[in-house]
Structure 1
Amino acid sequence: MTTTPITLPAQESEEHRALRDAVRSLCSTYDFAYMTATADTGGYPTELWQAIGELGLIGVNLPEEYGGGGAGLQELFIVEEELAAAGCGLLMLVVSPAICGTIIASYGTEEQKRRWLPGIASGEFISAFGITEPDAGTNSHNITTTARQDGDDWLLTGQKTFISGVDQADAVLIVARTADEKTGKLRPALFMVPTDSPGFTSTVIPTEVKLAENQYQLFLDDVRLPSDALIGTVDAGIQQLFTGLNPERIIATAMATGTARHALDKAVEYAKTRNVWGTPIGAHQGLAHPLAQCEVELQLARLMGQRAAALFDGGDWEGAAPAANMAKYAAGEISAKALDQAIQTLGGNGLSSEYGLARMFAASRLPRIAPVSREMLLNYVAQNIMGLPKSY
């Protein structure tokens, strides 16, 4: 891909500000209260998903000729961040258009692009993404889900765990491994697996994270797929895989920074109005300084996320990788820190149902764990950016 040098503007463009305003306007209807009510009833935020689809915001990063908005990750970053800042961030926005849509747009055949991308862009077709396995964890080299050829078909066998939104997905882009005929070694390959395929089953994973989007364990028992279920080639698996994983980290950054903004907004508003010593508690440095520190770290994480998105959109995928990893690390840290400080700022009210902060606690930890842990992100920075010896 041809790369284009990028320079982040000092101010957002009018188009980007208008995009933020459009999402904020939508969130006057679909907000934190909507998401918590949906989660508490075991539902899915279908109305919100359909609403952003009708506005053309789900596939804003996908090519126009396949029904997308013709923009990029910078625009999808804005959409996800503003949704999360309103308390209604969507995991499947990270997964379906950012990971799966990008991979298909980059490596799919013309027929595959026309089959799947318009639906992904409109939100009418949802694709989940399956890479994590029970015994592999963050070590994707230990993936044991295998694909073997049977005539013109493929047969997939294995397990996946902590896969988002399978109950709403029409298909799952599965990372499996195929045998290299020359070396006998296994290499990654990507397959689109319809969720109604014979031999494909899923079970929900109970968690303490109260979200309207659930996690699932998948079982693939000789799932038979046609030859055109393979995305790209078996020879470019790693390259294809990271074409989707870097956008995942970038849009996950947007969700985490939006979540931090949501928590800080509640804390700041409370600190401006709560008065118990003759002046608002926000005037006291014991609260003002920690909140200010969170704001500084939040803005730095946002900038790195925006830089990663701009690099990716400019075609510099190699340069986008370090930025995406550092942005994801910084966003995960401030997501947890901002909520912790927000709860501390509100004192006892921080634990009340009225303000909704305490129920966000488990979710605020997610960006430090998934889609890649903070420890593996630090390993990446140490080894690939700083040139330190590999530790594992």
Structure 2
Amino acid sequence: MSFSIPEAQPIDLGPQYRAVRARAASAAARFTADAVAIRAYTIEHGAVRPDVWQAFRETGCLGSAFDGPEGAGLLGAALVLEAFAERGIVLWMPVLSIAIARAIDRAGPQAARTAWLPGVASGSVHLAMAATEPESGHNLFAARTEIRAQGDDFSVSGRKRISSGVDLAERVLVLGRTDGGHTTVLVDPRSPGVTVTEVPMRYREGVRQYQLDFEDVVVPAEAVVGTPGQGMRVLWTFAAVERILTAALCTGSATYALDHAVAHAKSRVVTGSTPIGAHQAIAHPLARLHARAAAVRLLVWQAAAGHDAERGQDAAGAAEAAKVLASDLAFDCADHAVQVLGAEAWDERNGWLDHYLDARLSRSGPVSNEFALNHLAERVLGLPAHR
């Protein structure tokens, strides 16, 4: 069961995108009953369950997200991630891999494109991100990690926290300060000098979370993404893509919660013979959330299409707006589903507590809603910045 979202939208999905969405929904439907077990498998084995990952790879969204106008682009990837999340299968690593691959594709150099894009496109490679730090959080300009030129190589020293899914990743994109700016490099987390420490967060986003300590970690020059000293240009592309795909996961998760709450409200009888969904105290919040979901979904699609069309600052603003509204929607839907489901939601075997906490985390990460609102206030509305 899934909601029927109105087909009228400000962007025309067209037959190509409708087909992408239909294929993804069909693939994900095979695993609906296993959603809790699929999440547990990733945590226990450090890999996405093979049959699920194969079905996801076959959608083609990994490669088409950055293969130019002939592919389905970022919108196609958003549709696929959303469709899987609607079935309770939230795949976080593709968000990071696609966002980093898209940044590599835009910023280069060609050696990095050749080394990493085919693996991401085929699904044989996962990439992770290490940008935030304990002292500065999402203020990346205040990062203390240093990336220094060392002959023909570079040396990385510093601490990053929180980094998701490092145990699944072949490389981690690390942002650090360098002479005259910032630089981004791809680091093998198994390299000498890297200490990987798990942070006990009860496996938020369905993956393990880590702190990374770098002590004079040597990386070759070909590990640089973009141009030394201009790493923030890499991060701008990464951040916009990450925001949009996170929003797609959130809208899918919101629908998953709504579907279950509606089904329960239709069947659950507490007094008399009337299901609880007949009461407006139950029905109206669900109806309002359904209306919000329809609107937010369209914004997410529009933000993805705008990024594919290279609309610059307009696309960046849309990405931030989509992330804020979709994460708020996901949390409100999860929260109300817990209220409607009652004791069923608190039975840990059903996975609802994880769904609820993941939805709550989406308002704080991968960027806090406050930082996203700062961008909208300053860059879109032109309001004065607090310095």
TM-score, normalization by structure 2: 0.91
- Matches of 1:390 and 1:178, distance apart in 2: 26
Shift of 1:391: 2.9
Aligned to 1:23: 24
Matched, 1:339 2:340: no
- Matches of 2:158 and 2:268, distance apart in 1: 55
**Partner deviation per Cα, 1:107-149 (whole Å, 9 max, x = no partner):** 1122221111000111111111110111111211110111111
The alignment partner of 1:292 has SS state of helix
- Matches of 2:224 and 2:11, distance apart in 1: 43
- Matches of 1:259 and 1:346, distance apart in 2: 16
Aligned length in residues: 376
- Matches of 2:88 and 2:346, distance apart in 1: 17
Residue pair 2:20, 2:59 contacting (<8 A) in 1 also: no
- Partner residue of 1:380 out of 348, 351, 375: 375
1:364-379 maps to which residues of 2 (within 5 A)? 364-379=359-374
Matched, 1:60 2:54: no
- Partner residue of 1:261 out of 255, 260, 263: 255
**Partner deviation per Cα, 1:49-108 (whole Å, 9 max, x = no partner):** 2432244232330217xxx983211001001111111111111111001x2101111111
Aligned to 2:190: 196
Cα gap change, 1:234 to 1:45, in 2 (>3 Å): same
Residue pair 1:209, 1:362 contacting (<8 A) in 2 also: no
Aligned to 1:87: 88
- Matches of 2:157 and 2:49, distance apart in 1: 31
- Matches of 2:49 and 2:128, distance apart in 1: 16
Residue identity opposite 1:387 in structure 2:
G
- Matches of 2:273 and 2:283, distance apart in 1: 16
1:75-154 maps to which residues of 2 (within 5 A)? 75-97=76-98, 99-154=99-154
Aligned to 1:184: none
The alignment partner of 1:58 has SS state of helix
Residue identity opposite 1:248 in structure 2:
E
Question: Which one is further off, 30-39 or 165-174?
Answer: 30-39
- Matches of 1:43 and 1:244, distance apart in 2: 24
- Matches of 2:70 and 2:201, distance apart in 1: 35
The alignment partner of 2:329 has SS state of helix
Residue pair 1:63, 1:70 contacting (<8 A) in 2 also: yes
Question: Which one is further off, 206-215 or 72-81?
Answer: 206-215
Question: Which one is further off, 30-39 or 379-388?
Answer: 30-39
The alignment partner of 1:89 has SS state of coil
Matched, 1:358 2:362: no
Matched, 1:160 2:160: yes
Shift of 1:309: 0.7
Residue identity opposite 1:62 in structure 2:
F
- Matches of 1:96 and 1:163, distance apart in 2: 13
Aligned to 1:38: 41
Residue identity opposite 2:136 in structure 1:
A
- Where do 5+ consecutive residues of structure 1 fail to align? 1-6, 181-186
- Matches of 1:118 and 1:36, distance apart in 2: 26
The alignment partner of 1:315 has SS state of coil
The alignment partner of 1:251 has SS state of helix
- Where do 5+ consecutive residues of structure 2 fail to align? 1-7
Residue pair 1:155, 1:222 contacting (<8 A) in 2 also: yes
Residue pair 1:43, 1:212 contacting (<8 A) in 2 also: no
Cα gap change, 1:50 to 1:194, in 2 (>3 Å): farther
CA RMSD of aligned residues (A): 2.1
